[in-house]
C-alpha cells in the first residue's frame, strides 16, 4: 500500500505562555492510499485538531503533513471535509448544495467542456448513489439529520477528492440511521477509492468502519496506540456481536478510560447510598 | 365531559407555553388588542372627563385628518416626509451594508472601525443639528443628514453582527472545497446573512421614522413631523393625534412590506 498522508513530528499549541495548551505532541503517522482510518479518544485528545490540520483549516505549530509527498499549505480540493452539522447551505436546494464546488474557480480551472458535462453526470450519479433522488429539489431544513449528512457527503465527493476527512459526521444521528450510514460510507469508500480519515467518539463505529483504529490520549494530545482491525472486508452488522469484535471494543474502551484521567467515584456513590438509607430509616 | 369542562379545557389550551394558535384565533386576539385601546379612547372622549383640547376623540381626529387632506396639504406632507425618511435610510443602508460586511469578515477592519462606530453611536443625533445646519445648510439635505446620523452607526454595528452570525462551518466547508476569500464572501457569507440583513433593515427603518420629527425641527416648512410641531403651537391636539397615527400607519405598512419581501426572497426559511 502506498502512503497517501504522512504526518511527521506534528506539534500544535493553542495560546501561549502559562495558558498554552498542547493539542498535539509529536504525532507521527502514515495513512495509506484508499485506507479507512478511524480516530477515537477521550475529549481533548486532539483528534479533531489533527483532522482539521490535515484539512488545512488549522496549521501546525511545527512538524509537517504531506499528501503524496508534497507538504500541504492550507485547504485544497484534494482533501474534502464533512462536518458534524450546520455545514450545508440552507438557501440552496439539495442539488445546488451538491453542485456548490462547481461554481468555484478552483474547481473550474483545469476543466474542459467535456469535463463539465461529465461533472453534471457526476452530480446525478452521486444523488442516486446517496438515495437523494426524491428530495433533490428540497431545502436542507426540510430533511432529516441523516439525509442532510448524505447531502454533505455527496457535496464533498463531487470534485473526486482523493481524501475524505470526516469529523464526527454521524455524531448527531440516531442509532438506526447511523447503521445505515455506516454501510453506505463503507460502500462509497470502495466505489470511489477514497482515503478516509474518520474521527468519532464511538468505539463501535470506529472498529466497524476502520481498517485501523488510532487511539489518541489527552493532556498533551498524542497518539496513544493503534489497533489493526481483523474483520472481513465485507462488513455486516452482525459482526458487532462477534467475540473478536467485542474483545477489541473492550480493549480500546479500557485504554481510552485509562488515558482519560476520569473515572467513576465509587466512594461517592457509596456515601450517597448510605445517606439515602439513613434518611429512609428516620422516616 | 360536560360542555362547561370542554370550554375550560379549550381556554386552558390557549395558554400553553409557546403553544400554537389557529389563524382565526390569532386574528381575533389581534383585533381585540387593537379595539380595546380604541374603545377606551372613544369612551374617555365621550364621557367628558377630559377637555377636548387635551384629549380629542377618534372622530375629531378623523375629521381633522379629512380637512387636513382637503384644505391643507396632507398628501404633500406625507410625500415629503416619506421621501426624507427613504433618502436618509437608503443612504445609510448603501454605506452601512458594505462597511458592516467588512467589519464582520475581516478582523483588522473590525479593530479599525468598530470601537469608533460604537463611540459615535452614543452621541445624540439631535445634538448634531447645529453642526448639520452649519455644514449642509437648511434645505432637504440637512433633514436627510439628521436621519442618516440617527440610523447609520447603529446599522453598521447590526450588519456586522448579522455577518458574524454566519456559522463558521458554512465558511469552513467552502474553504475545504477550495473557495477563495472573495468567493467565500460572495457565495457564502452574503447569501447566508441576507435574511438577517433584511430584518436589520426593517428594524432600522423604524428608527429612521423616529428621527423624522427631529429632522423636521430643522427649519422645515412641510412634512408630518413639521405639521405636528406646528399644531403644538396652535394647541391643535387633534392634528397632533392625526399626525402621530399617520406616521404609525405608514410605518406599519412599510414593516409589512419588508415582511412580505422576506417571505418572497427566502422561501427556504418558511418551508418545513
Q: Would you place residue B137 in the very low, low, confident or very high pLDDT band (cuts 50, 70, 90)? A: confident
**Measured CA distances, B19 to A141, A142, B25, B33 (Å):** 21, 22, 12, 19
Q: Would you place residue A109 in the very low, low, confident or very high pLDDT band (cuts 50, 70, 90)? A: low
User: Does the structure show a pLDDT above 70 at B150?
Assistant: yes
Same fold, A1-77+162-283 and A79-160: yes
User: Does the structure show a pLDDT above 80 at A263?
Assistant: no
- Taking only the tens place, the pLDDT of each residue in A155-213 is 999 988 999 999 999 988 888 889 989 998 999 899 889 999 999 999 999 999 999 99
Its ipTM equals 0.88
Q: Greatest CA span in chain A, whole angstroms? A: 85
Is B82 in a helix, a strand, or coil?
helix
Contact B271 A104 (CB under 8 A): no
* Sequence ranges of the domains in chain A: 1-77+162-283, 79-160
Beta bridge partners of A217: A222
pLDDT at B51: 83
Contact B191 A159 (CB under 8 A): no
Which residues of chain A lie closer than 8 angstroms to B177, CB-CB? 77, 80, 100-101, 104, 106-107, 155-156, 159
A239-253, B121-135, B238-252: the lowest-pLDDT one = B121-135
User: Does the structure show a pLDDT above 80 at A116?
Assistant: no
pLDDT at B65: 92
A88-92, B159-163, B226-230: the lowest-pLDDT one = B226-230
At a CB cut-off of 8 Å and minimum separation 6, what does B96 contact?
B152, B155, B156, B159
Q: What is the mean pLDDT of residues A23-31?
A: 94
pLDDT at B214: 86
B191 closest CB neighbour out of A91, A139, A152: A91
User: Does the structure show a pLDDT above 90 at B116?
Assistant: yes
> Cβ-count burial of A151 within 10 angstroms (0-12 exposed, 13-18 middle, 19+ buried)?
buried
For the ranges A109-113, A229-233, B169-173, B268-272, the maximum mean pLDDT occurs at B169-173
Query: A106 and B181 in contact (C-beta within 8 Å)?
Result: no
pLDDT at A234: 87
- Taking only the tens place, the pLDDT of each residue in A141-170 is 999 999 999 999 999 999 889 999 999 999
Q: What's the CA dihedral at B39, B43, B46, B51 to 10 degrees?
A: -110
The three cell numbers locating residue B107: 478582523
pLDDT at B129: 86
Across chain B, mean pLDDT equals 92
Rg for chain A, CA atoms, rounded:
22
Contact B269 A90 (CB under 8 A): yes
- How far is the alpha carbon of A241 from chain B, nearest alpha carbon, in Å? 36
User: Does the structure show a pLDDT above 90 at A51?
Assistant: yes
CATH topology of domain A79-160: Rossmann fold (3.40.50)
The three cell numbers locating residue A52: 482539521
pLDDT at A111: 59
The three cell numbers locating residue B100: 458592516
Q: Would you place residue A224 in the very low, low, confident or very high pLDDT band (cuts 50, 70, 90)? A: very high
User: Does the structure show a pLDDT above 90 at B52?
Assistant: no
- How far is the alpha carbon of B120 from chain A, nearest alpha carbon, in Å? 33
Q: Would you place residue B272 in the very low, low, confident or very high pLDDT band (cuts 50, 70, 90)? A: confident
pLDDT at A255: 93
pLDDT at A172: 86
- For chain B, list the domains and their CATH numbers: 3-43 (no CATH), 58-269 (1.10.3720.10)
Across chain A, mean pLDDT equals 90
Q: Would you place residue A229 in the very low, low, confident or very high pLDDT band (cuts 50, 70, 90)? A: very high
Which residues of chain B lie closer than 8 angstroms to A75, CB-CB? 175-176, 178
- Taking only the tens place, the pLDDT of each residue in B224-250 is 999 999 998 998 999 999 999 999 999
Contact B177 A101 (CB under 8 A): yes
pLDDT at B165: 96
Domain at A1-77+162-283, CATH from 3.40.50.300, 3.90.420.10, 3.20.20.70, 3.40.640.10: 3.40.50.300
Q: Using the structure block, give the residue that is written with the C-alpha cell 448527531.
A: A172
- How far is the alpha carbon of B113 from chain A, nearest alpha carbon, in Å? 26
CB of B191 less than 8 A from some CB of A: yes
pLDDT at B170: 96
Q: Would you place residue A63 in the very low, low, confident or very high pLDDT band (cuts 50, 70, 90)? A: very high
Amino acid at each position: 500500500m502506498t502512503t497517501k498522508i504522512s504526518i511527521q513530528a506534528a506539534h500544535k499549541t493553542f495560546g501561549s505562555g502559562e495558558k498554552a495548551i498542547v493539542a498535539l505532541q509529536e504525532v507521527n503517522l502514515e495513512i495509506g492510499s484508499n485506507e479507512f482510518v478511524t480516530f477515537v479518544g477521550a475529549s481533548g485528545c486532539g483528534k479533531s485538531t489533527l483532522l482539521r490540520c490535515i484539512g488545512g483549516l488549522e496549521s501546525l505549530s511545527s512538524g509537517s503533513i504531506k499528501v503524496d509527498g508534497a507538504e500541504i499549505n492550507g485547504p485544497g480540493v484534494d482533501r474534502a471535509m464533512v462536518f458534524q452539522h450546520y455545514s450545508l447551505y440552507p438557501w440552496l436546494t439539495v442539488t445546488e448544495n451538491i453542485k456548490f464546488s462547481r461554481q468555484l474557480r478552483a474547481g473550474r480551472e483545469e476543466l474542459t467542456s467535456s469535463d463539465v458535462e461529465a461533472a453534471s453526470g457526476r452530480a446525478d450519479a452521486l444523488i442516486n448513489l446517496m438515495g437523494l433522488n426524491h428530495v433533490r429539489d428540497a431545502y436542507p431544513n426540510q430533511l432529516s439529520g441523516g439525509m442532510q449528512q448524505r447531502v454533505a457527503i455527496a457535496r464533498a465527493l463531487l470534485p473526486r477528492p482523493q481524501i475524505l476527512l470526516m469529523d464526527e459526521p454521524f455524531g448527531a444521528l440516531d442509532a438506526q440511521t447511523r447503521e445505515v450510514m455506516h454501510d453506505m460510507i463503507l460502500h462509497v469508500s470502495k466505489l470511489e477509492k477514497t482515503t478516509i480519515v474518520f474521527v468519532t467518539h464511538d468505539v463501535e463505529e470506529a472498529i466497524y468502519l476502520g481498517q485501523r483504529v488510532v487511539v489518541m490520549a489527552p493532556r498533551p494530545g498524542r497518539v496513544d496506540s493503534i489497533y489493526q482491525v481483523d474483520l472481513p472486508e465485507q462488513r455486516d452488522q452482525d459482526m458487532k456481536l462477534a467475540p473478536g469484535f467485542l474483545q477489541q471494543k473492550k480493549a480500546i474502551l479500557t485504554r481510552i478510560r485509562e488515558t482519560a484521567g476520569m473515572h467513576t467515584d465509587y466512594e461517592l456513590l457509596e456515601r450517597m447510598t448510605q445517606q439515602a438509607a439513613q434518611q429512609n430509616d428516620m422516616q | 365531559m360536560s360542555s362547561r369542562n370542554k370550554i375550560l379545557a379549550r381556554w386552558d389550551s390557549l395558554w400553553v407555553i409557546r403553544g400554537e394558535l389557529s389563524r382565526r384565533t390569532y386574528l381575533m386576539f389581534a383585533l381585540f388588542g387593537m379595539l380595546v385601546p380604541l374603545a377606551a379612547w372613544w369612551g374617555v372622549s365621550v364621557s367628558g372627563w377630559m377637555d377636548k383640547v387635551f384629549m380629542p376623540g377618534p372622530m375629531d381626529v378623523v375629521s381633522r385628518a379629512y380637512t387636513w387632506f382637503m384644505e391643507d396639504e396632507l398628501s404633500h406632507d406625507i410625500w415629503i416626509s416619506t421621501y426624507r425618511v427613504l433618502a436618509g435610510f437608503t443612504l445609510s443602508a448603501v454605506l452601512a451594508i458594505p462597511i458592516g460586511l467588512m467589519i464582520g469578515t475581516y478582523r483588522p477592519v473590525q479593530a479599525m472601525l468598530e470601537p469608533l462606530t460604537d463611540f459615535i453611536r452614543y452621541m445624540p443625533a439631535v445634538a448634531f443639528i447645529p453642526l448639520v445646519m452649519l455644514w449642509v445648510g437648511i434645505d432637504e439635505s440637512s433633514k436627510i443628514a439628521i436621519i442618516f446620523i440617527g440610523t447609520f452607526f447603529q446599522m453598521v454595528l447590526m450588519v456586522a453582527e448579522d455577518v458574524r452570525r454566519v456559522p463558521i462551518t458554512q465558511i469552513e466547508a467552502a474553504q475545504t472545497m477550495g473557495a477563495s476569500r472573495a468567493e467565500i464572501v460572495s457565495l457564502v457569507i452574503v447569501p447566508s446573512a441576507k435574511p438577517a440583513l433584511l430584518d436589520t433593515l426593517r428594524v432600522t427603518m423604524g428608527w429612521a421614522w423616529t428621527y423624522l420629527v427631529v429632522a423636521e425641527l430643522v427649519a422645515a416648512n412641510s412634512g408630518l413631523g413639521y405639521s405636528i410641531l406646528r399644531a403644538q403651537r396652535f394647541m391643535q391636539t387633534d392634528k397632533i393625534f392625526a399626525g402621530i397615527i399617520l406616521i404609525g400607519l405608514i410605518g406599519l405598512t412599510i414593516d409589512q412590506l419588508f415582511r412580505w419581501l422576506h417571505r418572497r426572497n427566502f422561501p427556504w426559511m418558511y418551508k418545513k
